[in-house]
Amino acid sequence: MPQALHEQSASALVPQLERREITAEQLVRACLDRIDAREGDVQAWEYLAADSALEQARQLDRRPVQGLLHGIPIAVKDLFDTADMPTTYGSPIYASHKPAADAAAVALCRAQGALMLGKTVTTEFATFKPGKTRNPHGLTHTPGGSSSGSAAAVADCMVPLAFASQTAASVIRPAAFCGVVGYKPSYGMVNRTGVKALSDSLDTIGFIARSVGDVALFAAATTSDRGLLQLDVSHAPRIALCHTHEWPHADEDTHKAFEHAARVLALAGMPIRELQLPLLFSQLMQAQKEIMAFDLVRSLAHERLRQPHLLSEHLNQVLDSGLEVPIERHYANLQLAQSARGMVSNAFGAFEVLLAPSAIGEAPDTLTQTGDPVFSRVWTLLGLPCVHLPFFKGRTGMPVGLQVVGRHGEDKVVLRVAKWLMERLAPV
């Protein structure tokens, strides 16, 4: 039996839409039916633009096909401004906020023929306080954050593609917990205009889908870099395992995911090599925390000055901690990050990519927090491209995986190797 429309990948849907074998309206209806059936449980959506999406779909069905995403429905993390949908940033301060313009990334995808299905739940200002979303693989488990709704909606086949963003771990962690592919591009690659700013030197727009091919297509449409569509590997990839300085945090499920990956690579005739990051990098996690807090209290200066009572207690604490970072320490942190960014390409040595933990293990069985960002803070600070691969199950059957990490700017290499690895780690 062929896959139902809502279960198919964007890469599979696009040619059918281009050949008019299916209509955008059919596809949107399939997604809406799935949402109707499952949203009561999963709670991925902050706002669903059902009527408007159907109308956009009908318009696209009448228009000549153009663009990489003609007729493809996209979910937009509610941290991204949208001109035709409310945008809350996950905060009651913006409960009735209507932005004047779409975020650039949204507009760029509309120009490629995509239609926006709705806004997905984010934590409070993409920080710590969870939204209502549950993990579709286990409704008592967190979906991870801050791109909670985006990861859950894609995992539950409500939509093929969803925008996400990462300042600490907000693309990779929810992708890991929900068992989908999450791609955080190199820092600076995707235009951030119109996405609520938290930390200028960390904020990165990312992509969530159910396959590596789909995150690559999504990124190509957003950046107009068609080179991202070329995912064939011309030689055996040079991959190192990298347990990272944060390895002691990893649990048994992540250990087993590593062992599985090592076994598969060995079977593929590839020697298992470990990459040790420079000792200096062990300081980067703390630096990332401090830079993020320092920036957050400034980025949210208006909200903190005018409506502090509408910020959660925990966020107010984080903001206070940002005021306690002395300015000299902040500059030292930036200097450290700069040095590490300068060193990391050499640190990769002969390897093209590293395979590293995405999260401690399975999604915690709680809805009161979104899990620990420990395994992504350093890569975010370094600005490196990362792709989470959902190829494993943990002891309770929840998704587990690892992330592929590459050199800054080598997103094409990372995506190619990610696809190569996914085919071997989780053969269909």
Contacting residues toward its own copies, per CB under 8 A: 83, 94, 97, 99-104, 106-108, 110-111, 188, 191-194, 197, 200-201, 223-225, 227, 295, 298-306, 327, 331, 334-335, 342, 409
241: enclosing H helix or E strand: strand 239-241
Cβ atoms of 265 and 272 within 8 Å: the answer is: yes
**Cβ-based nearer residue to its own copies, 1 or 327:** 327
Handedness of CA 323, 324, 325, 328 (dihedral sign): positive
Q: Which of 11, 77, 129, 199 is catalytic?
A: 77
Which one is catalytic: 11, 165, 170, 211?
A: 170
Contact 383, 188 (CB under 8 A): yes
Q: Note the helical H segments in 273-312.
A: 284-299, 301-306
Min CB(411)–its own copies separation in Å: 10
* 238 vs 257: CA distance, rounded Å: 19
| 203: nearest Cα among 381, 408, 371, 405 | 381
Cβ distance to its own copies smaller for residue 110 or 256: 110
For the chain, what's the residue count? 428
- Do 122 and 77 contact (CB within 8 A), yes or no? yes
Q: In the complex with its own copies, which residue's Cβ is closer, 108 or 171?
A: 108
Q: Scanning the structure block, which residue is given the tokens 């297509």? A: 217
Beginning with the edge strand found earlier in the chain, give each strand of the sheet holding 239-241 in spatial order: 45-48, 115-120, 73-77, 161-166, 204-209, 181-184, 386-393, 399-406, 353-357, 239-241
Catalytic member of 11, 146, 165, 358: 146
**96 in catalytic set:** no
φ/ψ of 93, rounded to 5, equals: -60, -35
Residue burial 361-398, b: 16+ Cβ < 10 Å; e: rest: bbbbeebeebbbbbbbbbbbbbbbbbbbbbbbbbeeeb
Residue 292 CA to chain centroid, in angstroms? 18
Instruction: Give 306 or 314: the residue with its C-beta nearer to its own copies.
Output: 306
Quick one: 103 or 400, whose CB is closer to its own copies?
103
CA pseudo-torsion sign 252, 258, 259, 264? positive
Q: Catalytic annotation on 146?
A: yes
105 vs 398, which CB is nearer to its own copies?
A: 105
State the catalytic residues. 77, 146, 170
